[in-house]
Amino acid sequence: MKAAIMTILAGGALAGCSVFPDYVRPAVDTPAQWQVRRTEADGAAERLDWWRQFNDPVLTRLLQAAEQDNPTLDQAVASIASARANLASAEAGGMPSLTANGAFSRSKGGSSTGTSAQTTGTSGSSFNSGITQILSGSLDASWELDLFGKFAFGRQAEQARLDAAEMTRHNAKVSLAAEVASDYVGYRACQLTVTAYQNAIASKQDTARLTGVLAGAGFSSPADAVLAEASLHASESSLIAQRVECDNTVKALVALTGLAETELRAWLDRGSGIPTPTQFRVDSVPADLLTQRPDLAADERKLAAASADIGNAVAKRYPSVSLTGSIGKRKTETTGLTLSSNTWSIGPTVTLPIFDGGELRSKVDSAEAAYASAWASYRSDIRAAIKEVEQALVNLNGAEQRERVEGRSAEQYRQYFRAAELNWRAGGLSLLSLEDARGQMITQEISYIAQQQNRVRYWIALYKALGGGWRAQDTQLSAGETRSEELL
């Protein structure tokens, strides 16, 4: 008994010891600074509340609707619930367990007795039978000591997976908001392009009417009338195609926001023009992406979980010690006789894996391979994130420069067309030259709209690439609750 007690005390002292090093986030080499530099405007906004800086109530409404009802976010929430349940299960490991057992049986049996007399040559026998009832109950307790960290590693792995699930939800929110905003900007640009085609058609209708009058009076060639009509129909075809694109964008917004199309169109009718976002400061460095992007933070947590899985697999190759105890009572009644007894037992149980055909070693190998894969994915995603930011900066700088140039060019083409139209009406310019001037004006007007759209979209892309205003400290998790800062 004394030896058993010493074993228990030693086991308690060793409980929680680890056979695998504690996880430390590995260092990743990143550039010291961004290669693309920006000159920030005065009054640049903070990224945390950037969506509201658009000052567009329609966009705000669409973002709110998308967050309230979106299957992707619902899947992320379900993943969090599943991860939390797995953590609760892991936390139960290594805790004492207590079970109660009870049993009752009733049976009928018999026995025979006999006597014989050699002297008389006679014999006699009798058969006794009765009902036997057995009632028993017991309480059984068991506690496996966590000598080598098997249960501790299991809890660490599930906690890390819960953290990753929460961060994945934040990443889904950032991606959803960026997609909604990008489609909304695309719709506004599409409507501006529709207006440009409508203005061109109205101008061409006037030209076609006047050309028809002149051709009928013999002052203009019939070919000019045909040319004017052909140009008009070409613009009408372009207008139809543009309206189809606008309708498809509306369908995309319906799918993203969950709003009924009639309600969505009513909201869209309340605004016009491409919203202009406030510039935000890019004051971070590439290394900051590790704490600014929820997808990279989720990758790091998955890496931590993979490390804990290795520790769990290694610990399972070592002996396990369990403390067991039981108390019970048994009552037997038969043929008027009642017997009662009390039982109890206590003692340690040692399990030592000796030969398993390599199963436990293969599980360690599998866990190590999973860690190597998670480490490779983490480094790959970091590189992709840096590339994404660099490209967004390049595209944004280029779009801003092109927008300024395209705007000046569009205004000059408008002036050129107005002069050409006056010259044509005065008879100093052919209809073919007029249509060429009009075509250049329309093309440049649409190009200018596209650059306005691109500038805003690249701001959105940069915002998303920098993490969408999320910060690692905005997420605090525990086994029972989640606190997260809203992005929208």
Per-residue pLDDT tens, the chain, 488 aa: give them: 344 333 333 443 444 466 778 888 888 888 888 888 776 654 455 666 788 888 889 999 999 999 998 898 888 889 999 999 988 888 888 788 889 998 988 887 654 444 443 433 444 444 445 788 888 888 888 888 888 888 889 999 999 999 999 999 999 999 999 999 999 999 999 999 999 888 888 888 877 777 777 667 666 677 777 887 888 888 889 899 999 999 999 999 999 999 999 999 999 998 888 988 887 778 778 888 888 899 999 999 999 999 999 999 998 899 888 888 889 888 888 877 888 888 888 888 888 888 888 888 999 999 999 999 999 999 999 999 999 999 999 999 999 899 999 899 989 988 988 898 888 888 887 877 887 888 888 888 899 999 999 999 999 999 999 888 777 665 544 333 333 333 34
CA distances from 255 to 62, 183, 250 (A): 11, 11, 9
Give the model's pLDDT for residue 341.
84
- In this prediction the pTM is 0.79
**b/e sequence 272-294, b meaning 16+ C-beta within 10 Å:** eebbebebbebebebbebbbbbb
Give the integer Cα–Cα distance in Å for 415 and 418: 5
Partners of 143 in the β-ladder: 323
CATH class of 28-96+149-317+362-484: mainly alpha
Give the model's pLDDT for residue 132.
83
- E strand spans, 385-480: 475-477
Give the chain's radius of gyration (CA, Å). 40
Contact in structure between 145 and 11 (CB atoms under 8 Å) = yes
